Amino acid sequence: MSNGQQSNSTPQLFRTIFGIIMIVIYVGMGILLFMNFFQWGENWQWLRLSGGVLFTVYGVWRAYRQFKGVDSSI
């Protein structure tokens, strides 16, 4: 550490694995909401569709950042 490099408390491999798991969770939750997996009634269709869009878009955005390497610099 005398070279001026900063120590990272979390290993890079753990951050990568955690990032991939979270991508799968977000996109999977979006798909489950689109398929009406939770059997919500017709009154909640707007919430189900908007939640599905938000989860899917955020999962894709997170995947882009993960694989592009943007998250590794934070």
**CA 24, CA 61: separation in Å to the nearest integer?**
12
Query: Structural domain of residue 47, as residue ranges?
Result: 12-69
The pLDDT, as a whole number, for residue 5 is 54
**What total of structural domains would you count in the chain?**
1
Cα-Cα-Cα-Cα torsion 56, 24, 33, 64, nearest 10 degrees, comes to 0
> Is 7 part of a structural domain of the chain?
no
Does 47 fall in a domain?
Answer: yes
Q: What is the pLDDT of residue 10?
A: 72
In a domain, 21, yes or no: yes
Instruction: Give pLDDT, residue 13.
Output: 87
Asked if the structure places residue 42 within a domain, the reply is: yes
